[in-house]
Amino acid sequence: MAKLGKNRYGKSRVRLTRVTRLADRHVLHEWSVRVLLHGDFETSFTEADNSKILPTDTMKNTVYSVARDSKATTIEEFATELGDYLLARNAQVTEASVEIEEKSWERVSVDGAPHATTYKLGGPELATVHASRAQGGKWDLISGIDGLVILKTTKSAFTGYIKDKLTTLKPSTDRIFATRATAKWEYAMSDVDFTSVRERILKTLLGVFAEHDSMSVQHTIFDMGKAVLDAVPEIANIQLTMPNLHCLLVDLTPFGQENPNHIFVPTDEPHGYIEAMIER
């Protein structure tokens, strides 16, 4: 006999651009929102009864309506505001989850000053948040940065590893280190400046990555995470995922040429995959 297990439903990839028109400048946010609801929905699955189902189209419209009147300036603030709105109006919902990705639009500089109304895309990385709350509970927030593409051309080595009959990799004391990093962190306190925390985390990650004498991706991940915890007391932990996007040295000897760490083939598949949680 079949029975219904865990279930949820919602609306994903609700695209939203919001322009706040202040007297001296415009403020731009571009968000992609996903809403997921847990609750008393069993009869919609087992009895074709939709009486407790909030349409996902209504969820989409709720995103736009709440954004219209919202004073939130961060994705963390908007995620909790949107979730509170849905929980307060839907008693059949036991838990709401809101996930938001934000593009990194930056002001264009004109004559050395930030322009009031013109932006450029700062990079491929996205600011992220996953916010969840049960009815009557507190918000659980996990903020992050996704798709941070970084590369350095030196200060990276890999030696001393296991070698067996299938090992063909040659040791390297000076290699390219490229990655598309993802960072996620949980907060150690409730009253924080989300923008400041994200900026300090990103600055610390980039600084340590650039200067670190890396003996492996694992070595660098730990030291990056440790430095973030030292620099940002507002967070309890940070999880870093750093795929190793290999740049392979080209063999030019068939052409009668040397290759003194000069010509490479960049690859992204297959790649090494390393992740770790660094916590207090």
Q: So which residues are the catalytic ones?
A: 11, 56, 246
Give the residue among 127, 106, 118 at the shortest CA–CA distance from 33: 127
Place of tokens 């280190």: 177
Cross-strand bridge partners of residue 143:
129, 185
Give the residue among 272, 126, 144 at the shortest CA–CA distance from 198: 144
Residue 101 CA to residue 129 CA, distance in Å, equals 7
Q: Provide the phi-psi class of 140: left if phi over 0, else alpha when psi is between -120 and 50, else beta.
A: beta
Give kind and range of the element (H or E) at residue 180. strand 177-187
Is-contact 40 94, C-beta < 8 A?
A: yes
> Which is it for the CA torsion 225, 128, 142, 4, positive or negative?
negative
Is-contact 35 89, C-beta < 8 A?
A: no
Query: Which residue type sits at 13?
Result: R
Kindly give the residue spans of alpha helices, DSSP state H, lying in 96-193: none
Residue 79 CA to residue 62 CA, distance in Å, equals 12
